[in-house]
Every structure is written in C-alpha cells, then in structure tokens.
Chains A and B, each alone.
Chain A
C-alpha cells in the first residue's frame, strides 16, 4: 500500500474514533473501580446489551435517536439491579467474590444474548440522517464516524461538567479518594455506589448503541471490548479518568496503525505496551492506588 499523507490521516482518524469509543466504555469501568474497588467484568456485557437493545429498538421503531435514549436507560436499570441484588450481597465475602459475581453476570448475559438474538452477527444500518460521507481537505470519510467522535466528545464534556462543577461530581471525586471519610461526613455512600454503578452501566450501554452501526452487533463483541478496556485501564491506571482517556486514544491509534503496518502483529502491540507499562510503572500512567 502506498503511504500517502491522506492514508495516514484516515488511519489516524480510525484510531481516534475507536479510541473515543473505548473511552466511553472504559470511563465507567475505571470510575466504579476507583470508588468501589470492584473490577466490574460485567461492564463489557452492559456494552454489548446496549448494542443489542439499540438494535431491537431501531428494528421496531426505525428511530435511532430513541434507541440512543432508551437502551442506556434499560442497561442502567439492569446495572442498578446487579449492584443492589448481587454485588452488595457478596461484598462482605471479599474481593474475589465480587469479581466472581460480576464474571457470572457477564457469562449469563452473554448466554442470554445468544439465546435471544442468535449466535451470529446482527448488522445494524447507519441511521439515514448520519449516512454518507463528507469530504474535507481532499479526502472522504464516513459521516457516522465523525458523529461517533463528536458524540463521544459531547459525552466527555457533560461528564467533565458533572464531575468538576456539580455537587454530585464533587461527592464522587471524594468517594474515589476516601469512602470511609465521606460516609462519616453523612453521605449515603451505598446509594452513591448504586448511582455510579448504574450510571457506568448506562454509559457502557450508550457506547454500545453508538458502536452498533460501526462495529456491528455480534455475541463476541462484549469479550472483544472487555480485553481492550482492560488493557486501557491497566495502562491508564485504575480510577483515573484522565489515564483512561489517554490510554484509550493510545490503544485506538496503536490498533489502527498496527493494522496498517503489520497486520499479523497488530494485536501483539497492545499487550507489549501493557507489559511495558506494568514493568516500568506498575500502577499505570496516572494511577495512584495499588
């Protein structure tokens, strides 16, 4: 393949788009971990459910925007149920069981998806309003990918606003650094956990809907996403939104250019990067907690 400037730019854009998608999913995961000390393996399953719910809503109503609202709400509610009835129950038994229960939920959701939607891909059309491609500085690029990019940036902006400018955000940040102190100050920490867990699930669901027309919906999409976001949080450092953001972009670009230059080894790169980070900075680039 001839390496022109435009090819490089296209691949850089590919990486950016996928990186932003990764960030949408990883941000919820890293927040929940920072606060509750729980690695939610089911998080990737929430992403997958979001995509499938979105698919079904679009199939039934033909309205992508409705799917963009309804699917995350449904996934968020499911997340609340998981937190309230599963996670909380095993909390006293320690870390391992929290991991195991979220793993069990991941497994069961995966089976339910195969059951309800079939064990094969369900391609979702790009909504007509966002179809087509646009031309700029001499190259054409699918419009929908730009939409993902800007939508993710919008979500990021909203998140940043909530996080840094509102009382809820302040409480969440406080909870990440010291839940016990927060509880002593009279904040209802269990309820806060419930909100954040549910919110993280909804965010993953939202990412799922946005991803569906781009990456298609298929039963293995949860697992594929899980591995990538795990690599992201390890590199970025658990609990760090900033770390998740930078690591997401890094992995996105790495995968994109990896496929361009050495397709056979594309997958190896991110693991090499992860191993490198682990050796040199075991807590990740922005992580403080061990």
Chain B
C-alpha cells in the first residue's frame, strides 16, 4: 500500500484545487450548497470518530453542533468587536467543554446505555435552548449577528458577506479540521481508539486507559462538531433550536450511514449525497423525510457499508490505508 502514497497526495491536491476553483464555474445556489456540504461533511466526520472509530453509537451529536452554533452567534451578538475567527474557535472550545462534561457521564456506560444517555442529554440541551428565551430567543432564534466588515487576514481581506467569501472561509476551516482529524487517526492515540472498539476488555488488560481514551475522543468529536456548528451559524446568520434538536442528531447519523462508517471519507461522501438527495427529493415531494427514513432502514438492513461500499476495492485502496500497512 505504501506505493500509493504519492498518488494519494496528487489526488488530494487535485481535489483541493478543484474545490478552490469551483466557485468560478458554479452558480450562486450551487456554491451555497457546496458550503452546506462542507460544514456537514465536517460534522459527519466528527460523528464517525465516535461510531466508526470508537464504536460509540451516539444519538445526541447535535448537542455540540448546537453549542458551537449558539456560542458563535451569542459571542458575535453580545461581545463588541468580537473577531469572526475567534468566535469560531470559541464555539469549538465551548462545544469541547460540553462534550467533556456530557462525555464524562456517557463513556462510563456501554451500548444501549451510552446511546440513550447521549440522547437524553441532547434533549436536555434542546429544552434549555427552547425554554431559555431571554438568551437563545427560544423558537425565534438569534439572527443577524455576522459582522458586516470584511475579514482582515493581514495580507488580504475576505468578504464573508459574499457567497464566495463565506464559501472560502468555510472550506478553509473545514479542510484544516479534516486534515487534523485525518492525522489524529494515524497517531498512536487513534490506534488505541480502534483497539478499544475491537475489544475493549483486551485493550484494558493491555494497560490502555479505556475510559480516559473514550472521553478524549468524545471531546475531540464534540470539538469538531462544534466548529461545524459555528460555520453553520455564520453561513445561515441565524441560529434556532433546530440546530440542537434530535432532528439534527438524526441528520448527522443519516449522513454518516449513507456514506459509510467504515472509512474516514465515507461520511464526507454521505454529506454530499445527503445534501443533494434531500434537495432533489424535497423538490419532488413533501414527504422527503419519510423517504429518507425508509432509505435509512434499508441501509441498516441490507447495506451496512454505505455508498462508499459501492466504490471498487482497487480504487478505494488508494484512499484507505489497509490495516497493518
């Protein structure tokens, strides 16, 4: 597998160049869709850190997405002169803190317990966002918080109020996060997580700190999810309870499963398919969520590997490092 590394780098660079020049050929609507795909891809990949890598099935991943979104929105709204980039970072940190606290309770338990705890905490945060009208605006949400002045990057300025500018901002942050995440899966810590998924008891006996490692990956996943949420907030310039409800948790689960949870890139493909699929089906029928649910059941029943499973093994070998290589 090692000899595929140069090819991998070439393909990686080609994809990035393609993404950078995409706005030149895409329409405004398509750029907005690409923007949406970008932060959802990060969200789905962060979800897969839990399920795909650590074997932790979470039904409450929107908690951190929502925490990031609300933090970014509130900090820009209430803190005078809050830099845009700092608000994204702050969103990520608050999400990570939330992940560490909730994770502390959740990772102590396995399987079904873990799943329902994540769901219960998600409902708790959702209810808080919904009831705490004074701060979150409840159902009405918070809007119009993105600063009007263009982003000053020292050597250049980026006008995030333009569709293209926002796309580049989102793309850059997402690519940086994905690269960091990809690197993480290659570290010894990444291997520990995979070992825990395969056999938790054995990993424990081998001297790995099982619960601490699980809590760490939970926190990291929460961090990336929160960054995705912050980007979502900036893109929409509006945050409401829908960013933190069970529907959002369901959405990320669907995305990860559509693409396939067995690889790093599966959820990215899932985000692409999800955004295009829902756009297409919702233009045909109002019942698109029903169709999505049925599709999900079929996937779970017959097609675990998701759509990335359709890609021939030889092509996939370029991207996926096989075990033991």
Contacts and interface: CB of A to CB of B under 8 A. Distances in A.
A103 B290 contact: no
A274 B120 CA distance: 10
Interface string A261-290: 000100110010011001100100000001
B120 A111 contact: no
Nearest to B111: A95
Contact of B119 (A96, A115, A227): A227
A103 B116 contact: no
Contacts of A99: 57, 111-112, 115
Given A104-B297, A107-B250, A107-B296, A238 B290 contact: no
B293 A111 contact: yes
A93 B304 contact: yes
A282 B109 contact: yes
A223 B246 contact: yes
Nearest to B245: A223
A246 B108 CA distance: 24
**Chain B interface mostly:** helix
A115 B301 contact: no
A96 B250 contact: no
Given A96-B57, A238-B113, A108 B300 contact: no
B300 A101 contact: yes
Given A86-B301, A271-B124, A234 B296 contact: no
Contact of A275 (B105, B119, B250): B105
Interface in A94-138: 95-97, 99-101, 103-105, 107-108, 111-112, 115
Contact of B131 (A37, A103, A264, A290): A264
Given A223-B246, A234-B117, A100 B290 contact: no
B139 interface: no
Contact of A108 (B115, B128, B294): B294
Contacts of A108: 290, 293-294, 297
A227 B115 CA distance: 12
A267 B120 contact: no
A101 B59 contact: no
Contacts of B55: 96
Interface in A170-227: 223, 226-227
Given A90-B301, A95-B112, A96-B55, A271 B120 contact: yes
A86 B297 contact: yes
A231 interface: yes
Nearest to A103: B59
Contacts of A86: 297, 301
Contacts of A41: 59, 116
B51 interface: yes
A264 B127 CA distance: 11
B120 A231 contact: yes
A38 interface: yes
B140 interface: no
B201 interface: no
B287 interface: yes
B300 A90 contact: yes
Contacts of B290: 108, 111-112, 115
A33 B131 CA distance: 32
A239 to B, nearest CB: 11
B185 interface: no
Contacts of B113: 234, 238
Q: Which of A86, A97, A105, A275 has the most CB of B within 10 A?
A: A275
Contacts of B121: 271
A48 interface: no
A75 interface: no
Given A33-B112, A111-B290, A230 B57 contact: no
Nearest to A98: B112
Q: Which of A90, A104, A290 has the most CB of B within 10 A?
A: A104
Contacts of B117: 234, 278
Interface string B286-302: 01011001101100110
B116 A115 contact: no
Interface of B: 51, 55, 57, 59, 105, 108-113, 115-117, 119-121, 123-124, 127-128, 131, 246, 250, 253, 257, 287, 289-290, 293-294, 296-297, 300-301, 304
Interface of A: 33, 37-39, 41, 86, 89-90, 93, 95-97, 99-101, 103-105, 107-108, 111-112, 115, 223, 226-227, 230-231, 233-234, 238, 264, 267-268, 271, 274-275, 278-279, 282, 290
Q: Which are the 3 A-B pairs with shortest beta-carbon distances?
A: A39-B112, A108-B293, A111-B290
